[in-house]
A and B are shown apart, each in its own frame.
Chain A
Amino acid sequence: MTTRWLRSLLPLAFAMAATAAVAVDEGDRAPDFQARSVAGDAEVALHSMRGKVVLVDFWASWCAPCKAAMPEFEKISKEFPAAQFAVIGVNVDTKIEDARRALEKRPVSYLNASDPTGKLPKRFGLETMPTTYLIDQTGVVRVVHKGFRNGDMDKLREQVKKLLDQKKKS
C-alpha cells in the first residue's frame, strides 16, 4: 500500500529533479555556444576561439561585482597576445538595452554575447553571479571562479600565464 502511494509521487519527484541543471566544473569540456553580440553587429562563438585560452565571464547590468570586474577583464584582455588569449563576456540581462547602457558606462573592447533567454548560464549550470570560466586551448574548463573581489584578478592572471606557458612547453 505504502509502495503504491510512494510510486504515485515518483512522477512529481522526476519532474522536480529534471529542473536541476548540472554545473560545469573544472576538467569538464566547456559547452560550445554561439550568440549575437550585445551591440548586435557580430556573432560570438566559443568554438571560433579554439587554440586560445578563453576567459568567459557571465555578467548582468544589475550585478555590482560583475560591473566592478569589467575594467579588470578589459585590462587582462590586452595583456596577452590576441592570438593566444581572448575574453568573452556573456550578458544575461533580459532587456538588451540594459546591457547596452551598462557597456556605454563601462566600455570594453572584448566581445560580449547577449543571452536574454538564460539558455547559456543554464547550460553552464551557473551557481552565482558573476562566474568566470577559464577555458584552455582544447576547450576544457580549467578554472571556475565564482564572484569577484579585489585581488581575484591576480589569481586569474596567474592561471592564464600558467596555461599559456604549458602550451609553449608542449
Chain B
Amino acid sequence: MRSAKLLVLLGICAVASACAHVEPWERGLLARPDMAWEVDDLAASQENHTYFSKEAAMPGGGAGGGGCGCN
C-alpha cells in the first residue's frame, strides 16, 4: 500500500517536472525557427495551402505573430 502511494507521488513529481510554464517574457523562445512544427517554411506553406483547399479549414500548426501571444 505504502509503495503504491510512493509510486503515485513519484509519478506526480515526474509529470509536474515535465511541465514548464513559459513566462510572457520568455515567449521569444517559442518564436525561434527551431521551435517550429515544420522547419522548411516553403514546404509548410505548401502543405497548409493544400490542407486549406481540401478541408476548408486552417491546420493547427501555428498562427501569425512573434510568439508573444498578443496578436
Q: Is A8 in the interface zone, CB < 8 Å from B?
A: yes
- Chain B residue contacts of A65, Cβ below 8 A: 68, 70-71
Question: Who on chain B is nearest to A64 by CB?
Answer: B66
In angstroms, Cα B66 to Cα A84, docked, is: 34
**A9 at interface by CB-CB < 8 Å:** yes
- Report how many residues on chain A are interfacial, defined by Cβ distance under 8 Å: 29
- Given A12-B12, A93-B28, A118-B26: A64 and B68 within 8 A (CB)? yes
Within A50-87, the residues touching B (CB, 8 Å) are 58, 60-66
Q: A63 near B13 (CB under 8 angstroms)?
A: no
Tell me if A130 counts as interface (CB < 8 A to partner B). Answer: yes
Q: Does A128 contact B (CB under 8 A)?
A: yes
CB atoms of A58 and B65 under 8 A apart: no
Q: Tally chain B residues at the interface, Cβ within 8 Å.
A: 21
Cβ-based interface call for A109 (8 A): no
Which residues of A lie under 8 Å from residue B66 when comparing CB positions?
62-64
Give chain B residues whose Cβ lies under 8 Å from the Cβ of A12. 12-13, 16
CB distance from B50 to the nearest CB of A (A): 27
A90's nearest neighbour on chain B, judged by CB, is: B25
0 or 1 for each of A118-142: is its CB under 8 Å from B? (1 = yes): 1001100011111100000000000
A63-B66, A64-B66, A127-B24 known; 12 new pairs, CB 8 Å cut-off, are A9-B9, A19-B21, A60-B28, A62-B31, A63-B67, A64-B70, A64-B71, A65-B71, A66-B68, A92-B28, A128-B24, A148-B70
The 6 closest A-B pairs by CB, nearest first: A62-B28, A63-B68, A92-B25, A121-B25, A129-B68, A62-B66
- What would be 9 A-B contacts, judged by CB atoms less than 8 Å apart? A62-B31, A62-B68, A65-B70, A94-B29, A98-B28, A118-B23, A126-B25, A131-B24, A148-B70
B interface list, Cβ under 8 A from A: 5, 9, 12-13, 16, 21, 23-29, 31, 65-71
